[in-house]
Structure 1
């Protein structure tokens, strides 16, 4: 199969250890001409929802690539390692729900395989570091054009683990939605599409806190809460010059209510 000039990496490994460099090193040794894009390595440890959301919202802006994602609290257990083929690229990582939203964003899973071909893995596979010993070497071989089917046996795409669909509900003058992620700036992304704001007015209450509809952060006074459409086309909450997550004491997975203030 044709190869790829890029591999992307999304993990919860952090930046204070050598884990990310080790994955880069594996790719550099096996496929030195393939370039690596670091999406993020600061996914909160074990936060599958945050990792899945970041991955799904980023892959559409990247060149065709082999996308490696590792947020893997079940590493070393019976959970499968998989590779997914989509119209927009390949995905490699644990079968724990992390990959499927990104696969959807890239056009849907056409084929899937379980990564059981030990010839494609490190000579010794650690029970706790499959990013280095399984996923990175598999991704490097796929980027070089190795046959997708040679990575391991076929998997029914319908059997892949999926994260639960986020909660979204609405009615006259109100919207309820799950917190999908919180970014570096404290902006809160909700699972609802931006179009869900169409039925709401300009003056709002977010869990009882006054807010206003806005197009950007500076449309509200300093310290005020804005409800807007973010760059991914979802409803978001932001504080001009502050952090919406702190103001509202929100965490990922929480469901909040936005309602007309009148």
Structure 2
């Protein structure tokens, strides 16, 4: 059984933006069902329909949140046959669409131990919009779970092997060379790569190595360091970021703009001395 005494917290991640009332409507639904539950807004500025970015933001944030129900809605397939889910993990529950958005965060919380489809009409709003399941399906489910409802009350179990998963970025390492891809960019223009600290070690790369970055038509010299200020203003730098990923940045500027790179772009880093 997945019954718990209640979390008291709901985290909330979407691509709804801040110009409209979409996020507020969902928060209002939670407050009407569970007025004592507190909501932590993780982000509502995930790029529209960017499921991978939403998954990355959520997965890198949940380890630092209280045990909670994590509500996430980046849902290009809203109104289609894609399933609505609650995933149960050792350190929390996750509610949202079955499009890969929730899996990385569930893994960060100990892995998926059970999954259920959100089908019981008792735990959604009476009038169901075809295009706003965040308000009508996911927010009510999250509120009831935060109050202590057992996840299995929301609908039938889902075979965990059928859950939709995002493709895993590939990183390859050889002596003095690392091939990976851009995982995400943040609002500062920093490029977070799929490669992690362990990949640097495998490639034998460590600060203060000098590297050459090759990506499509872009080639740039940079320093492998520990933080932005280890290079002069305007210089390109690589470092292990706060999430444990290799990142490329420009001290005082935007690496995404300077290098014309974004999520999915292939990157190769080579030692030059």
**Interval containing the TM-score (normalised by the shorter chain):** over 0.9
Query: What is residue 245 of structure 2 aligned with on the other side?
Result: 234
Q: Do 1:88 and 1:106's aligned partners in 2 also have CA atoms closer than 8 Å? A: yes
Query: What is residue 168 of structure 2 aligned with on the other side?
Result: 165
How far off is 1:200 after superposition? Answer: 2.1
Query: What is residue 76 of structure 1 aligned with on the other side?
Result: 79
Q: Any idea what SS the aligned residue of 2:64 has?
A: coil
Q: Any idea what SS the aligned residue of 1:60 has?
A: helix
Match of 1:251 among 232, 246, 262: 262
1:205 correspondence with 2:208: no
In 2, the alpha carbon distance for the partners of 1:103 and 1:147 equals 17
Query: What is residue 35 of structure 1 aligned with on the other side?
Result: 38
Q: Which 10-residue stretch deviates more, 240-249 or 195-204? A: 195-204
In 2, the alpha carbon distance for the partners of 1:28 and 1:148 equals 19
In 2, the alpha carbon distance for the partners of 1:26 and 1:166 equals 36
| Stretches (4+) displaced over 6 A | none
TM-score (norm 1): 0.98
Query: What is residue 159 of structure 2 aligned with on the other side?
Result: 156
Match of 2:57 among 54, 58, 61: 54
User: What do residues 98-132 of structure 1 show as CA deviations (whole Å, max 9, x unaligned)?
Assistant: 00011110000001000000111100110000000
1:225 correspondence with 2:236: yes
Match of 2:118 among 112, 115, 118: 115
Query: What is residue 141 of structure 2 aligned with on the other side?
Result: 138
How far off is 1:171 after superposition? Answer: 1.1
Q: Which 10-residue stretch deviates more, 87-96 or 195-204? A: 195-204
TM-score (norm 2): 0.94
Q: Do 1:4 and 1:65's aligned partners in 2 also have CA atoms closer than 8 Å? A: yes
User: What do residues 185-215 of structure 1 show as CA deviations (whole Å, max 9, x unaligned)?
Assistant: 1111011112222312611111220100111
In 1, the alpha carbon distance for the partners of 2:51 and 2:211 equals 31
Unaligned runs of 5+ in 2: none
In 2, the alpha carbon distance for the partners of 1:178 and 1:211 equals 17
Query: What is residue 177 of structure 2 aligned with on the other side?
Result: 174
User: What do residues 141-180 of structure 1 show as CA deviations (whole Å, max 9, x unaligned)?
Assistant: 0100112111000001111000001121111211111111
In 2, the alpha carbon distance for the partners of 1:99 and 1:138 equals 15
Q: Do 1:12 and 1:41's aligned partners in 2 also have CA atoms closer than 8 Å? A: yes
Matched length: 262
How far off is 1:26 after superposition? Answer: 0.2
Unaligned runs of 5+ in 1: none
Q: Do 1:167 and 1:255's aligned partners in 2 also have CA atoms closer than 8 Å? A: no
RMSD of the TM alignment (CA)?
Answer: 0.8
